[in-house]
A and B are shown apart, each in its own frame.
Chain A
Amino acid sequence: MNVEYFSEGLECLMYCGRKLSPEQRILIENSLIVLLQENRFSGMYFWGRITAIKNDYYIAFGYTTDCLKDRKYFYSVDQYQWQLLPFVQSPKIFQATVLAPDPFIGDPSLQTYVKLDPTFNIVANQVISISNPEVIKLKEEERLAAIVFIISEESAICPRGALYKMVDGRVIPNQMFRGLNDLQIENLSYYQLYRLPRNDLKTNLSKRSDYNYAIDFLDTIDGVIPLSQAFTLNMQRNERIAIIKSCVWLGMTFFHKLNSRKHGFVYLGDGRKNFDLLFMY
């Protein structure tokens, strides 16, 4: 959620049941403005909070030129000083993060061991060999970085038209965005995933008849698997705010105000994937 309308956004997002206490709100808002200034970002966003046992982690990100490609993530334990999250590349760490059963502790330097699932291979004659489950050493800071990356890849949302692709390929927030209107706001195909598109450009464009190269390059959320189960949309406050909650990452909430450029998402949760989703409908 953009720091520009931080308090207002939080008010709109409280339909998830949680928000920040006044002290947290003041600390975060101001320390993020400072962070924005120090890093010369052109946009600063509050990402959310991951509950841990000792201290909660607060996450924020900012960008300089391209709001999808060069996002820089920060975390903070005391809501005052922000540290850069490391960039995780190893797929093993991502696997371990998704599978890690224990909650976050609240100490970034802590190391835990996570047992991956055993892998099954069909060797020959339908004999299945089971490899020993691998044990991965996981630093909590890396785990945090990985979980933040996964959650924002899978469930961060923006309304259609909020991001604009320039001629040189950069993606920036659309200054001319005036919000979705009455007819569009309840339609899931008007919301896009806030990430670099994974689908082909042509597939994304061909999904709609009134396509626009500068806007429709992102993946829409109505195509997220499990289809029509990954997100729920509710209209709140006299049907003027659309609230979208992710069912895969419970705690991810997105809001968009009708006919206004205000939108944003916040994750307030414990960083656990809902593996039972398919059995829960």
Chain B
Amino acid sequence: MDDLASLQNFTTDSTSSVQSDAPPKTISKKEKELIANKDVVDHDESPKCSNIITSTSTSSSTTISIGAFNSDTQFQRASGHEPPHIGYELSVAKSILQQYSTLSGDNLFDHLSDIVKRVVDERPPNVIDFFEEFSRNVREQKFHVPERFPPNAVFADCRMFRPAKRILHSIKLPHNAEGSDLGGDEDFGEEAYTYADGELQIDLDDSMRLFVSFNERVEQLQFFWNQCGFTISKDDIFQLAGSINRLQTHPSIMQCRFWGCINGLKASYYIVEASLTREEISSRLTMMEEEMREKQLPFKMRKNQEPNPLPSHIGPELTPGVYGWENFSPEDLEKMTPKAPPVPLAEEIEFYDIPPELVGLGCNRYSYFVVNNLYDDWIELPIVTPRQIVVSRQIKKFFTGDLESDIVSYPCFPGKEKHYLRAIIARITASTHIAPQGYYRRMTKKEKDLFDGVNFDDEEEEQEEEDNYNEGEEDTIQDNDVMLLKNERFEIEPLATLATPVAWVHCRPNILNQGRIVWYDEEKARKEREKALAMYLKMRLMEEMDEEVEEEEADGEEEGEEEEMIEGFNQPETGPDILTSCASDMSPDCVVPWLVRFTSRYTNQKERVLVMQSNIWPGAFTFIFEKTCESIYLGWGHKFCRRNIPFKHLPIVQEEFPHSVEDFIETTDPSVEDEIAYNEWLLSKQKRQVDIGESLHEYDGEDIDDYDNDDNDA
């Protein structure tokens, strides 16, 4: 009895052991003793088993001995008293089922009763079809439970823990910064006010407020995106709104909007388009101009240029020039120039790039901020150069999600992934940001001046100007590189008339094949550089000769060359203007550049939204509903191609250096004596280098002799 009870105590974690408490009363003593014997045998055979059932091996052995003793006494007392009956048979069967496994310490009885319990409790459908699977699940779960509770165990971090903590960190509430809180509220109120009016107000303390044309309210836009059937997830959008707000409160940012999302292999980029404040732009401009001036300089004029040190020793040393030179004295030999051709050195060839457009102009008018996870800080992308745009047109890559990773491509992309991303963003923006005709308008001249900060007139004047900007349409500036303003007098047409690309116009300037928005005269620049270089070289020359004469001459030359430049004026490259119709979009591959879709075709006629889908950049969408018109890009950043992108082929393998007959002259190998002599010469040469005191004039003719003999034999 004790034995059975003790065993049951040790296996209390199994559900069946509780149930099996009831039968022992009916079990005959003979059978009990049988069980006991079996258990004893089990324990003896496998110490492993006892380990699992009991906590320590010593205690188990004591229980076993007690059990054995008890069963022996029971056996003597109760043998042969009971006749065979069903209860006995049942208990025999049960005892067989209850045999503990020597491997896992589990028994079938427990397992079966677990399964039955689970089936009755959970009632899974068709459990007979998946019985093996179900049984496996039950067993798996059973073993998971006790593992959790060992007191010394390490609690593994939950998978969601780390991101959850970072999200919390990013939206940490300000503790006692009440002032900043209030400020934030005020900002919000102002914004709401300007939007509610639907008209742009001149903010007294910030004239730039006039030029806010971005819709910054992400959550409101999210509603429309959701209606249109493209969106990022709901949880993300709140975080996005929060982090955009964080970005916006930065002093150097005037306005920003959610640009879209580009998928990457490991992570995707959330991208925000922002325009900087005037002060920020001007401070960046000074830096950039300096840098550009440096780069514009012809290669040879750069200050930091250092002559590459010649390689100290490549191949055989050169021989002095004249045949039969052994007869000359060492002093003469020194003056001789070597006859063998010098070792060719890599020479840097000057390579001019078309300069990038200045910050705040052209392709770099807006700056872009990206982030992989919305709880991280925004990272600003570098400015884009024309060359990056040109090369990005020739390649097609997946984004990895790491801004610093290399772009392995042919032709070689000048930059990292962030540069590639920036170039792609510039291209997508230029070709897919559209709006209905009349939604945007150009700035008037006065506004432009104000925008550029040229003249700060009184506010009254500005307001007057504003009042007549529509009348004075003739003085709108016909320039491609402009920022557009929202047309306050825009009236939405019925959507049915807008459902054709003809009614839509591009609201971002086109990027030329050159990679810029404003055409850059390469030819002119080249000539200017040549001139500058010529002048510089001349100056260097003059510096050596005489300083005074040089200036006059240079002036004279400049005049002459200017005339030349006028002669060599070449045709600027042109592309479609800003605000040209989408119907005139051309693409050799894509037959239909724009798809038009309504969000509701049948039912909700009143509140349906019109969606324009770009085919050229799959993933670019623009929707319009009443006065809200926004473009967004959600995709891989790949342009449409008809079948596969025409990758540029590698150039033909270059020919080797042409060898003439003299290059291959057979020679006799140097003899042992020659080699020894040569080594001696080398040693003596080293020795001489160590001795600084010795002058070069004490050149030993003989040493050279030895070495050069070798060469001459050759």
Contact pick for A176, options B137, B231, B592, CB 8 Å: B137
Are the C-beta atoms of B398 and A247 separated by less than 8 Å? yes
* A240 in contact (CB, < 8 A): yes
Contact pick for A232, options B231, B265, B396, CB 8 Å: B265
Chain A residue at minimal CB-CB distance from B135:
A176
* A38 in contact (CB, < 8 A): no
Are the C-beta atoms of A19 and B231 separated by less than 8 Å? yes
Are the C-beta atoms of A280 and B396 separated by less than 8 Å? yes
Are the C-beta atoms of A174 and B130 separated by less than 8 Å? yes
Annotate A137-166 by CB proximity to B: 1 below 8 A, 0 otherwise: 000000000000000000000000000101
* B152 in contact (CB, < 8 A): no
* B591 in contact (CB, < 8 A): yes
Are the C-beta atoms of A176 and B130 separated by less than 8 Å? yes
* B124 in contact (CB, < 8 A): yes
* B679 in contact (CB, < 8 A): no
Given contact pairs A15-B233, A19-B231, A239 touches B634 in the complex (Cβ within 8 A): no
Distance of B157 from chain A, by nearest CB (Å): 10
Alpha-carbon separation in the docked complex, A45 to B495 (Å) = 34
* B163 in contact (CB, < 8 A): yes
Contact pick for B233, options A178, A182, A237, CB 8 Å: A237
Alpha-carbon separation in the docked complex, A280 to B407 (Å) = 10
Are the C-beta atoms of A258 and B159 separated by less than 8 Å? yes
Annotate A49-89 by CB proximity to B: 1 below 8 A, 0 otherwise: 00101000000000000000000000000100000000000
Within 8 A of B (CB), among A4-57: 11, 14-24, 51, 53
Are the C-beta atoms of A21 and B644 separated by less than 8 Å? no
Return chain A residues, CB-CB under 8 Å to B409: 279
* B541 in contact (CB, < 8 A): no
Given contact pairs A214-B132, A258-B159, A24 touches B592 in the complex (Cβ within 8 A): no
Chain B residue at minimal CB-CB distance from A79:
B601
* A245 in contact (CB, < 8 A): yes
Distance of A181 from chain B, by nearest CB (Å): 10
Are the C-beta atoms of A275 and B644 separated by less than 8 Å? yes
Return chain A residues, CB-CB under 8 Å to B518: none
- How many chain A residues touch B (Cβ–Cβ < 8 Å)? 46
* B337 in contact (CB, < 8 A): no
Contact pick for B645, options A21, A258, A276, CB 8 Å: A276
Given contact pairs A15-B233, A102-B591, A174-B133, A23 touches B599 in the complex (Cβ within 8 A): yes
Are the C-beta atoms of A23 and B591 separated by less than 8 Å? no
Are the C-beta atoms of B129 and A175 separated by less than 8 Å? yes
Return chain A residues, CB-CB under 8 Å to B645: 276, 279
Chain B residue at minimal CB-CB distance from A236:
B233
* A169 in contact (CB, < 8 A): no
Are the C-beta atoms of A101 and B647 separated by less than 8 Å? no
Return chain B residues, CB-CB under 8 Å to A236: 233
Alpha-carbon separation in the docked complex, A279 to B615 (Å) = 22
Are the C-beta atoms of B398 and A21 separated by less than 8 Å? no
Given contact pairs A101-B643, A176-B130, A176-B133, A21 touches B599 in the complex (Cβ within 8 A): yes
Are the C-beta atoms of A22 and B227 separated by less than 8 Å? yes
Contact pick for B600, options A21, A234, A245, A276, CB 8 Å: A21
* B370 in contact (CB, < 8 A): no
Given contact pairs A178-B137, A234-B266, A17 touches B230 in the complex (Cβ within 8 A): yes
* A120 in contact (CB, < 8 A): no
Return chain B residues, CB-CB under 8 Å to A17: 230-232, 261, 263, 619, 634-635
Given contact pairs A101-B642, A258-B159, A281-B398, A19 touches B230 in the complex (Cβ within 8 A): yes
* A107 in contact (CB, < 8 A): no
* A99 in contact (CB, < 8 A): yes
Given contact pairs A176-B137, A234-B267, A20 touches B592 in the complex (Cβ within 8 A): no
Return chain A residues, CB-CB under 8 Å to B137: 176, 178
Are the C-beta atoms of A18 and B229 separated by less than 8 Å? yes
Alpha-carbon separation in the docked complex, A166 to B125 (Å) = 15
Alpha-carbon separation in the docked complex, A240 to B130 (Å) = 27
Alpha-carbon separation in the docked complex, A21 to B602 (Å) = 13
* A103 in contact (CB, < 8 A): yes
* B235 in contact (CB, < 8 A): yes
Contact pick for B163, options A16, A21, A239, A280, CB 8 Å: A239
Return chain A residues, CB-CB under 8 Å to B635: 17
Annotate B103-132 by CB proximity to A: 1 below 8 A, 0 otherwise: 000000000000000000000111101101
* B451 in contact (CB, < 8 A): no
Alpha-carbon separation in the docked complex, A258 to B158 (Å) = 12
Chain A residue at minimal CB-CB distance from B619:
A17
Annotate B130-155 by CB proximity to A: 1 below 8 A, 0 otherwise: 10111001000000000000000000
Contact pick for A53, options B164, B267, B595, B636, CB 8 Å: B595
* B330 in contact (CB, < 8 A): no
* A171 in contact (CB, < 8 A): no
Within 8 A of B (CB), among A239-281: 239-240, 245, 247, 250, 258, 269-270, 275-276, 279-281
Alpha-carbon separation in the docked complex, A24 to B230 (Å) = 12
Are the C-beta atoms of A103 and B615 separated by less than 8 Å? yes
Chain B residue at minimal CB-CB distance from A24:
B229
Alpha-carbon separation in the docked complex, A15 to B234 (Å) = 11
Annotate B599-621 by CB proximity to A: 1 below 8 A, 0 otherwise: 11111100000000101001100
Alpha-carbon separation in the docked complex, A21 to B167 (Å) = 29
Alpha-carbon separation in the docked complex, A236 to B600 (Å) = 30
Alpha-carbon separation in the docked complex, A14 to B231 (Å) = 7
* B627 in contact (CB, < 8 A): no
Chain A residue at minimal CB-CB distance from B408:
A281
* A209 in contact (CB, < 8 A): no
Alpha-carbon separation in the docked complex, A71 to B636 (Å) = 31
Are the C-beta atoms of B266 and A232 separated by less than 8 Å? yes
Return chain B residues, CB-CB under 8 Å to A238: 160, 163-164, 167
Given contact pairs A237-B235, A245-B263, A279 touches B163 in the complex (Cβ within 8 A): no
Are the C-beta atoms of B642 and A21 separated by less than 8 Å? no
Are the C-beta atoms of A51 and B595 separated by less than 8 Å? yes
Are the C-beta atoms of A276 and B644 separated by less than 8 Å? yes
Are the C-beta atoms of A21 and B634 separated by less than 8 Å? no
Alpha-carbon separation in the docked complex, A55 to B268 (Å) = 30
Within 8 A of A (CB), among B234-271: 234-235, 261, 263, 265-268
Alpha-carbon separation in the docked complex, A276 to B645 (Å) = 7
Within 8 A of A (CB), among B628-661: 634-636, 638, 641-645, 647
Alpha-carbon separation in the docked complex, A103 to B641 (Å) = 11
Return chain B residues, CB-CB under 8 Å to A175: 124-127, 129-130
Return chain B residues, CB-CB under 8 Å to A53: 592, 595
Return chain A residues, CB-CB under 8 Å to B267: 234
Alpha-carbon separation in the docked complex, A264 to B402 (Å) = 28
Chain B residue at minimal CB-CB distance from A25:
B229
* B397 in contact (CB, < 8 A): yes
* B389 in contact (CB, < 8 A): no
Return chain A residues, CB-CB under 8 Å to B634: 17-18
Distance of B643 from chain A, by nearest CB (Å): 5
Return chain A residues, CB-CB under 8 Å to B408: 281
Return chain B residues, CB-CB under 8 Å to A178: 137
Are the C-beta atoms of A275 and B643 separated by less than 8 Å? yes
Alpha-carbon separation in the docked complex, A178 to B134 (Å) = 10
Distance of A237 from chain B, by nearest CB (Å): 7
Alpha-carbon separation in the docked complex, A182 to B636 (Å) = 28
Are the C-beta atoms of B229 and A20 separated by less than 8 Å? yes
Question: What are 8 A-B pairs with beta-carbon distances under 8 A?
Answer: A11-B233, A17-B232, A22-B599, A23-B599, A23-B600, A232-B265, A238-B164, A239-B159
Residues of A within 8 A of B (CB): 11, 14-24, 51, 53, 78, 99, 101-103, 164, 166, 172, 174-176, 178, 182, 214, 232, 234, 236-240, 245, 247, 250, 258, 269-270, 275-276, 279-281
Known: A14-B233, A250-B638. 10 other contacts (CB 8 A): A21-B229, A78-B601, A99-B643, A103-B592, A175-B125, A176-B134, A214-B133, A247-B398, A250-B636, A276-B641
Residues of B within 8 A of A (CB): 124-127, 129-130, 132-134, 137, 159-160, 162-164, 167, 226-235, 261, 263, 265-268, 396-398, 408-409, 591-592, 595, 599-604, 613, 615, 618-619, 634-636, 638, 641-645, 647
Top 4 A-B pairs, shortest CB-CB distance: A17-B634, A21-B229, A275-B644, A238-B160
